[in-house]
Amino acid sequence: MAECILETEKMVVLQAQLGDWDNLNHLLVCKESKKAVIVDPFFSEYWLDVCSSNGWELEQVWLTHSHWDHSKGIDGLKDKQVWVHRDESLRGWNGPSNREWVNSANTSVIQKIGSLNFEAHCTPGHTPGHMTFIGEGVVISGDCMFLGRCGRTDLFGGDIMSQRHSLKHLRTRLSLVPGNWIVLPGHQYELSDGTNPTFITVESLLSDNEALKALDDDETWNSLEFLSFDDSLAEKARREKARVDVE
């Protein structure tokens, strides 16, 4: 099921779509050290098996954010380094992660796995401490940025202004990386041209992503339909906010 979607001199990238919400999980492997990191694991056993059968050591877990569908697998991975941004506590997250990023919104720190180097950018908006990882030919964007659009901002801890700032920050950063780097989102959604890829190039994203194209015009930005939905998750977020406001 896990598919090798990229192999370079230094790294192997595996992608698998797992769980009830079809989450895209990504495993990054340093070929030199054979150390691996799993981003947003849905199933722990699945990725432990992939690593052991290939002779890789699963050393780290990175969460783009703490929503259930991105963090479910960490229960079985507590003996690894499990990283999440501190600000996810603002939406009630209290583990079982055991390492935290503390960088300010729209700044980055270096995160290593073996001899691979990634920039870990804090990109809030979908959640208060959402992270985006950039380096070694890939961009792992979680629910901040999908291939054709961006993540919703109406869940508890979400913020539309922060999302706009984060997307502007990412657009600037991505305009400086090679256009053939690939973007790996947290979910697969159909693009406006009817195709349904699980990754695209940075060049395609920068030219076609609807949210990025709307960033510079208030009216277009505010009319984007995918920033909020009238569904049970939005209703739950309203209840959570009301409870916090009372406390």
User: What's the rounded Cα separation, in Å, for the pair 244 and 247?
Assistant: 5
CB closer to Fe ion, 30 vs 166: 166
Q: How far is the CB of 49 from Fe ion (least distance, A)?
A: 26
CB closer to Fe ion, 26 vs 67: 67
Closest CA to 188 of 159, 149, 214, 153: 149
CB closer to Fe ion, 114 vs 151: 151
User: For the chain, how far is it from start to end, CA to CA, in angstroms?
Assistant: 46
Residue 112 burial (CB count, 10 A): 14
User: What's the rounded Cα separation, in Å, for the pair 37 and 131?
Assistant: 15
x/- letters, 44..83, toward Fe ion (CB under 5 A): -----------------------x----------------
165: which 2 tokens? 């700032």
- C-alpha to C-alpha distances, 39 to 70, 139, 141, nearest whole angstrom: 8, 12, 10
Q: How far is the CB of 29 from Fe ion (least distance, A)?
A: 25
x/- letters, 18..47, toward Fe ion (CB under 5 A): ------------------------------
CB closer to Fe ion, 126 vs 169: 126
- C-alpha to C-alpha distances, 9 to 56, 93, 135, nearest whole angstrom: 16, 37, 14
Residue from 40, 88, 136, 143 touching Fe ion (CB under 5 A): that is 143
CB closer to Fe ion, 136 vs 143: 143
Q: How far is the CB of 175 from Fe ion (least distance, A)?
A: 25
Stretch that binds Fe ion, among 12-20, 143-151, 224-232, 239-247 (CB under 5 A): 143-151
User: What's the rounded Cα separation, in Å, for the pair 164 and 51?
Assistant: 37
Q: How far is the CB of 159 from Fe ion (least distance, A)?
A: 14
- β-pair type (23-30, 138-142): unpaired
Residue 149 burial (CB count, 10 A): 21
CB closer to Fe ion, 88 vs 143: 143
- Applying CB under 5 A, the site for Fe ion has a residue count of 2
Q: How far is the CB of 25 from Fe ion (least distance, A)?
A: 14
The binding site for Fe ion (CB under 5 A) comprises: 67, 143
